[in-house]
A and B are shown apart, each in its own frame.
Chain A
Amino acid sequence: MFNDRRENPYNQTDNYNVNSGDEYKQQSNGGHLPPGAAPGQPLPGQSPSPSRESNPQTSKQENSLKSINQLGETNTPEFVHSDIHTIPIVGQIEGHLVLPPKNKTTKYEHIIPQLIAVEENPNIKGLMIILNTVGGDIEAGLAISEMISSMNTPTVSIVLGGGHSIGVPIAVATDYSYIVATASMTVHPIRLTGMVIGVPQTYEYLDKMQDRVIKFVNNNSHISEEQFRELMFRTGELVRDVGTVLIGREAVESGIIDDVGGLNFALQKLKFLINKREEVIQ
C-alpha cells in the first residue's frame, strides 16, 4: 500500500495497491524479489502471509485465476525458480527525449540500473536479452550496449522480428548472439533531428557518430569495419534509404550475429556459459 502525497479533498488516504509485492518484501528481508519470483507467491520454504489470505483483493484475483484455469481459456505455467534474468528491448529505444505515447518504447534509464542489479545479484547467473527493436536514440543504445558488453554475468541475445539500427550494437554486445531465421536487421546511416547547418563540419560530426557505432560492432562481432561500412552505405537495396537489410542467416554470414537459432539454442548456450563461468570461479 502506497501513500500518495497529493492533497485529498475528502481527508482520505489514497493508497496504491501494487498487489502483494510489498508483503513479499517484508518476508524476504532483503527487500527484493528473487529472479523469476512471481509477486504474491511465497518464497520457497515459506508459508503464505496471513495478511495475504485476508486480503479480499488478492483472493479475488486468485479466484479469477482459478476460474480462468477451470475454463481452460489460458494455460498459465507453474512458477519455477530461475537463475536467468530476461530483459526485452522492444520498440523504440527512448533516450534524451520522451517520445509521444503512440510509440512503443524501452527506456534506457530503466535498463541500465537493471543491468547493474543483474550483475550484482548473486541469484542471477545469466542474462538473456530479447530484441525486437526498430532502433532509437544513438547515445541510449550505445550506453546499453557498453553496459552489456562490460558485464561478467554470461549474456546471450536473440533477435526476433527485427533488430534494426541501434539494435545492431545491442545484439552484438552479449557474449553470444542469435537471430531467428525470419528476423531482420537493417544497417543504415544515422540521421540527425533538428536544425542542420549546411557546412562540412555537419558531415564530419555525423561521420564521428557513425564511427562510434561501427567501432563498437567491429569490436564485439566478427565483421570488419570496412564490411560494416559497405553494408551501411550500400545503395539500391532500400527504396528510400541507403543501407542493407540482413535476414536471418545473412546476418550470421556477414559476421554480425554468431548463429541462427531460437529460444532453445539461446537457453542452451546461456546455460553452457553459466556452467563454464562457475567452473572457472571454482
Chain B
Amino acid sequence: MINYSIIPNELLFSDYDDFDVNYEEIELDDGLTLMVERIDESSVKVVKIISSNHQDFLRSNIQPGMEIKSSLQL
C-alpha cells in the first residue's frame, strides 16, 4: 500500500498489530446487509453498507459510524 499523507506511517500504523476488528454482518428487513461492529449486547456501530444498489449509500440513517440500538422483542 502506498500512503500519501502528512501523518507519518509509524504513527498511522503504530497500533496496527494490536487492534482486532470484530465485525459482523446483520441483514435488514428489506434485505440490505450491513457490516457492523458490536459495541455491546444492545447496540452496534455501522461500519459498511454492503449493497449493489448505490442509492442505499445515500440513506442517512445507516451511514458508517452511526450507532444502532437494538430492542429485544418476545
A interface residues, Cβ below 8 angstroms from B:
1-6, 10, 12-22, 25, 30-33, 35, 37-39, 57, 85, 92, 95-103, 107, 109-110, 113-114, 116-118, 120-121, 134-139, 141, 162, 164-166, 186, 188, 190-194, 206, 209, 213
CB pair B54–A110 under 8 Å, yes or no, is: no
Q: Which residues of A contact B21 (CB under 8 A)?
A: 98
Residue of B nearest to A133 (CB): B5
A109 to B48, CA, bound (A): 8
Q: Which residues of B contact A5 (CB under 8 A)?
A: 25-27
The 26 sampled A-B contact pairs (Cβ below 8 Å) are A2-B26, A4-B27, A4-B70, A5-B26, A13-B72, A13-B73, A14-B72, A18-B28, A20-B61, A21-B60, A22-B28, A33-B59, A38-B60, A57-B71, A100-B15, A100-B16, A109-B48, A121-B55, A136-B4, A137-B1, A164-B5, A164-B6, A166-B4, A186-B6, A190-B3, A206-B2
Binary contact readout B1-33 vs A (1 if CB under 8 angstroms, 0 otherwise): 111111101001111101101001111111000
In this complex, the member of B27, B59, B71 whose beta carbon has the largest number of chain A beta carbons within 10 angstroms is B59
A96 to B12, CA, bound (A): 14
The minimal Cβ–Cβ distance linking A200 to chain B, given in whole angstroms, is 18
Please pick, from B27, B61, B62, B72, the residue contacting A3 in the complex, using a CB distance under 8 A. B27
Q: Which residues of B contact A206 (CB under 8 A)?
A: 2
Which residues between 27 and 74 of chain B lie within 8 Å of chain A, taking CB atoms?
27-30, 34, 44, 48-49, 51, 54-62, 64, 68-74
Q: Which residues of B contact A25 (CB under 8 A)?
A: 30
A190 to B8, CA, bound (A): 11
The minimal Cβ–Cβ distance linking A43 to chain B, given in whole angstroms, is 14
A72 to B64, CA, bound (A): 30
CB pair A165–B6 under 8 Å, yes or no, is: yes
Q: Which residues of A contact B34 (CB under 8 A)?
A: 2
Interface of B is mostly: mixed
Q: Which residues of B contact A102 (CB under 8 A)?
A: 15
Q: Which residues of B contact A117 (CB under 8 A)?
A: 54-55, 57-58
CB pair B58–A33 under 8 Å, yes or no, is: yes
A18 to B70, CA, bound (A): 8
Q: Which residues of A contact B15 (CB under 8 A)?
A: 100, 102
| With contact pairs A16-B69, A33-B60 given, residues A213 and B4 touching in the complex (Cβ less than 8 Å) | yes
A35 to B58, CA, bound (A): 8
A4 to B48, CA, bound (A): 16
Q: Which residues of A contact B6 (CB under 8 A)?
A: 134-135, 162, 164-165, 186, 188
In this complex, the member of B44, B48, B54 whose beta carbon has the largest number of chain A beta carbons within 10 angstroms is B54
